[in-house]
């Protein structure tokens, strides 16, 4: 059996282009944050009105 070291980890050059810190990536990350904020603003409108009762009453018969 091969040693663990032989599991080839992807090299950063190949698979981690240094986009992480690039302006494009941080812009995208800001966008995602803004979208999440909008979503969280809406969520109380769609959330079941009595969460505790809803969760308690969500009972399923087991299946496969």
Partner 1 sequence: MSIPKTIGIETEYGIVHRGTEDPNPIAASSVLINAYLYEAGYRSEDGKDTVHWDFINETPGLDARGYVSTASMPPDVETHLVNAVLTNGARYYVDHAHPEISTPECADARSVVLYDRAAELIAQRSMVAANAILPPDQEIVLYKNNSDGKGNSYGFHENYLVDRTTPFGRIVTHCISHFVTRQIFTGAGKVGSETPGQSTDEVPYQLTQRADFFEEEVGLETTLKRPIINTRDEPHADARKYRRLHVIVGDANPSQISTFLKVGTTALVLALIEDDALSREFVFAAPVAALRQVSHDLTLAQPLELADGTTATALEIQWELHDQSRKYVEANGVENVGGVVALEVLDRWEAVLTGLEVDPMTLATQLDWIAKYRLIGGYRERHGLDWRDPRLKALDIQYHDMRPERSLATRVGLEQIVDDVEAARAMSEPPSNTRAFFRGKCLQLFSEAVVAANWDSLVFDVGTDALRRVPMMEPLRGTEAHVGNLFHECDSATELLRRLGS
Between 4 and 23, CB nearer to partner 1: 4
In whole angstroms, the minimum distance from the beta carbon of 40 to partner 1 comes to 5
Residue from 10, 21, 23, 34 in contact with partner 1 (CB under 8 A):
10
Distance CA 58, CA 51 (A): 10
If binding means CB under 8 A, how many residues of this protein chain bind partner 1? 35
In whole angstroms, the minimum distance from the beta carbon of 18 to partner 1 comes to 10
Distance CA 22, CA 38 (A): 25
């Amino acid at each position: 059996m091969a040693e663990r070291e032989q599991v080839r980890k992807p090299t950063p050059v190949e698979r981690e282009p240094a986009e992480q810190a690039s302006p494009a990536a941080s812009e995208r990350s800001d966008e995602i944050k803004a979208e999440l904020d909008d979503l969280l603003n809406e969520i109380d409108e769609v959330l079941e009105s009595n969460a505790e009762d809803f969760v308690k009453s969500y009972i399923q018969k087991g299946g496969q």
